Amino acid sequence: MNSRLVAAVLASLLLSACAAHPVLESETRTASPGPAGLRIVPERFVSKENPQDELDSLATWPGEDGSTWLIASAKSTHSLAVYDADSGERLRSVGAKGSALGQFKRPNGLAVFGDYLFVVERDNHRVQVLRLPGFTPVGSFGDAQLRSPYGVWINETAPGELEAYITDSFMYGEKFDRVPPLNELDQRVRRYRLRFEDDDRMSSEYQGSFGDVSEDAALRIVESISGDPANDRLLIADEDQRHLSTLREYTLAGRYTGRRLPDRSFDAQAEGVALWSCPGGGGYWIAVDQLMPRTIFHVFDRDTLKPQGSFSGEVTAHTDGIALHAAGTKTFPTGALYAVHDDRSVTGFDLGDIARALQLQSGCLD
């Protein structure tokens, strides 16, 4: 892959009626203790509401001009919403309802690798690949196997070759609220090998599915997924509160390790999860506890999964997707955490504010 693509990959590792809140000065927005040790970290921006969109997942893309886009999937309008990642200003919408390339039906999970944007479409039963910045369709994959896909995580396995992990949360019953029998839950995550040529030709190969099928550890309702190649780890969120909503650990090969986050980590559904990778191999996982009136973000050690603290914003609530952008931007010189707020807007947190509030490694802000 070209040098710009590689650089971009490394770089990626209260509401108002106006367009967005202005950036707030750090010295006036310090974190404060909340109930039971919960820290309050004020948002740096909250975007204008668009309730009709039903926003879900997020991804970031750094442009050649130094700007950064925050891209959100808009399920109900079958489109993508593009924001300025420094201010929260909405820049444009992309796409419309349909099954042709460049169109979407209930887009959900998003991922960016270099200049490629991956869009999981629940109702087109596929993953569509677009080339940024023009959102030019490159191709799609998965339509032969995917039944109700939601989340995506992308891993580079060789130059020009990627592995895509897609969660497939198909359900049964008239209201699609009945979890399939255990013997079918080995299809909860599907893997694909993708190859890209210099002229953007893409080929895909289905690599099979996985998921534990035991009563205690099966993945019942899945959406968010994220990985850590350095530690051969996938964290997969199971949202089923009728059993146990948590994050479960798998290897990149699809083997359940028997580990999960500590019991009672989540009071609501375990939702978005992102890796904050720090120099020297350290870092943290940030996971969403989808609560009202405010989302709680739990932070866990990258290696041991030991809890490191929790925080909430002043506004952000009922969050689905998050995106962590570790590279500095104009507004966020040490990086940012972005979150969906109540399906209708996006919010931005400064990683430095989070690190200071929870007394995390200062080296993560280099």
- pLDDT one-digit tens code per residue, 101-113: 999 999 999 999 9
| Omega before residue 133 within 30° of 0, cis | yes
Looking at every residue in the chain, the average pLDDT score rounds to 90
Return the amino acid letter for 197.
E
For the entire predicted model, the pTM comes to: 0.90
Instruction: Please state which of the ranges 117-121, 145-149, 174-178, 195-199 shows the lowest mean pLDDT.
Output: 195-199
Measured CA to CA, the distance from residue 61 to residue 116 in angstroms comes to 9
Measured CA to CA, the distance from residue 340 to residue 295 in angstroms comes to 10
158 token code pair = 């060789």
Range 350-363 burial, b when 16+ CB lie within 10 A, else e: bbbbbbbbbebbee
315 token code pair = 């506004």
Return the amino acid letter for 238.
D
Say yes or no to pLDDT of 359 above 90: yes
Measured CA to CA, the distance from residue 204 to residue 193 in angstroms comes to 6
Report pLDDT digits (tens) over 210-240.
Answer: 999 999 999 999 999 999 999 999 999 999 9
pLDDT at 199: 79
Residue 323: pLDDT band (50, 70, 90) is very high
pLDDT at 284: 97
Mean pLDDT across the stretch 130-143? 97
Say yes or no to pLDDT of 310 above 80: yes
| Omega before residue 180 within 30° of 0, cis | no
Say yes or no to pLDDT of 72 above 80: yes
Measured CA to CA, the distance from residue 145 to residue 166 in angstroms comes to 11
Mean pLDDT across the stretch 282-291? 96
Q: Could you give the residue ranges of the DSSP H alpha helices within the chain?
A: 3-12, 351-358
Report pLDDT digits (tens) over 9-63.
Answer: 444 443 333 334 333 333 334 444 545 679 999 999 999 999 999 999 999 999 9
3-365 CATH, one of 2.120.10.30, 2.60.40.10, 2.40.100.10, 2.40.160.20: 2.120.10.30
- Strands 149-158 and 107-113, sheet pairing: unpaired
- Measured between alpha carbons, how far apart are the two ends of the chain, in Å? 26
- Strands 307-312 and 39-40, sheet pairing: parallel
pLDDT at 226: 98
Instruction: Please state which of the ranges 16-25, 66-75, 258-267, 278-287 shows the lowest mean pLDDT.
Output: 16-25
Measured CA to CA, the distance from residue 120 to residue 149 in angstroms comes to 7
Mean pLDDT across the stretch 146-159? 97
Mean pLDDT across the stretch 251-261? 97
pLDDT at 16: 34
Measured CA to CA, the distance from residue 165 to residue 162 in angstroms comes to 10
Name the residue among 361, 347, 359, 353 with its Cα closest to residue 27.
353
Say yes or no to pLDDT of 366 above 70: no
208 to 146, 193, 283: CA distances (angstroms): 11, 10, 30
pLDDT at 19: 37
Report residue 74 CA to chain centroid gap.
14
Torsion of CA 322, 326, 328, 333, to 10 degrees: 80
Backbone angles phi, psi at 65, to 5 degrees: -85, 5
pLDDT at 36: 64
Three-state DSSP class for 3?
helix
Measured CA to CA, the distance from residue 84 to residue 187 in angstroms comes to 37
Name the residue among 91, 53, 58, 54 with its Cα closest to residue 72.
58
67 to 129, 133, 327, 332, 337: CA distances (angstroms): 22, 12, 12, 12, 16
pLDDT at 13: 41
348 token code pair = 């931005």
